[in-house]
Amino acid sequence: MSHSRKVISIHELKVSCGDCSLSEICLPHGLNQEELNELDALILHKPRIEQGEVLFRSGDPMHHLYAVRSGAFKAVLSSNEGAEQITGFYLSGELMGLDGFGDDVHQCTMVALETSTVCAIDIDELEKLSTRAPGLRRQLRHLIGAEINHDHRNLLALGQLKGEERLAAFLLNISRRLKKRGFSPYEFNLPMARHDLANYLGLAVETLSRMFSRMIDADLIETNRRHVKLLNTKALCELAQYDCPRESHHASS
């Protein structure tokens, strides 16, 4: 909270898509300079969102899409009996709010898992711009497809895999996403509490804890609270029945 720190913060708020380190995985990916400038013009950088705060709520009319700039979010869908299901976690560079496409009303509630920042994109402006920016249309389509594919893989996990296998699939999925962002795929901090992860995986917290313990005993991983180290990705891949990043020709980081 010193003065110099404040300056840095202001600087960050001015970051444009072109300068953003996430541009290669986020909406700007594949855009030419002109498209990039136009996209930049309609993006609103929101200030910090603290842990537990809500970005949008089920029932809210949809006005924006949001890209995670820093931090992480969970999307929560509720039944009218109060049961809640986390349908996804969103890391930096990922697009949130597509659940409002159906009838222009958000179905999920989006909650920050840690202090986060987002880029808000007015949906009408994005729509207008997309008519004359083919690169933007293409990237938006790919991000939509990523959301759908993620959901489908999750359905496969919930419908076909056992608890331990689901956890393995999840860890590998996070690993891959973090690697894409330049972080180590073998050692990372999970942004969510056990409680949220258990819900996401359709398990009780206690069961999830047992799955972790079992994997630790089998020397597949090491954990310390939210810190996770993957020790045997091959075995994890076999457990997960999916997502094997093909430990390619000594090309790992």
Least Å distance, CB 71 to its own copies, is: 22
- Of residues 123 through 162, those in contact with its own copies by CB under 8 A are 127, 130-132, 134, 137, 141-142, 144-149, 151-156, 158-161
Pairing of strands 117-122, 84-90: unpaired
**CB closer to DNA, 147 vs 165:** 165
Q: Is 164 in the site for its own copies (CB under 8 A)?
A: no
- Host H or E run for residue 36: helix 33-41
Q: Is 242 in the site for its own copies (CB under 8 A)?
A: yes
Half-sphere exposure of 138 (CA within 13 A, CB side): 9
Q: Is 47 in the site for its own copies (CB under 8 A)?
A: no
Task: Give CA–CA dist 238/229, Å, rounded.
Answer: 17
Candidate list 16, 58, 87, 207; residue touching DNA; CB under 7 A: 207
* Binder of residue 77, out of its own copies, DNA, none (CB less than 5 to 8 A by kind): its own copies
3-state secondary structure of 189: strand
Q: Which amino acid is at 94?
A: E
Which residues, including other chains, have CB under 8 Å from residue 14's CB and lie 6 or more apart? 45
Task: Give CA–CA dist 60/101, Å, rounded.
Answer: 12
Candidate list 110, 212, 230, 237; residue touching DNA; CB under 7 A: 212
- Of residues 61 through 90, those in contact with its own copies by CB under 8 A are 75, 77, 79-81, 83-85, 87
Q: Is 35 in the site for DNA (CB under 7 A)?
A: no
**CB closer to its own copies, 144 vs 218:** 144
Q: Is 202 in the site for its own copies (CB under 8 A)?
A: yes
Q: Is 59 in the site for its own copies (CB under 8 A)?
A: no
Task: Give CA–CA dist 98/221, Å, rounded.
Answer: 34
Place of tokens 């993957």: 230
Of 167, 189, 193, give the one whose Cα is nearest residue 178: 189
Q: Is 219 in the site for its own copies (CB under 8 A)?
A: no
**Token code pair at residue 164:** 């331990």
> Contact positions toward DNA, by CB under 7 A?
162-164, 193-195, 202-210, 212-213, 223-226
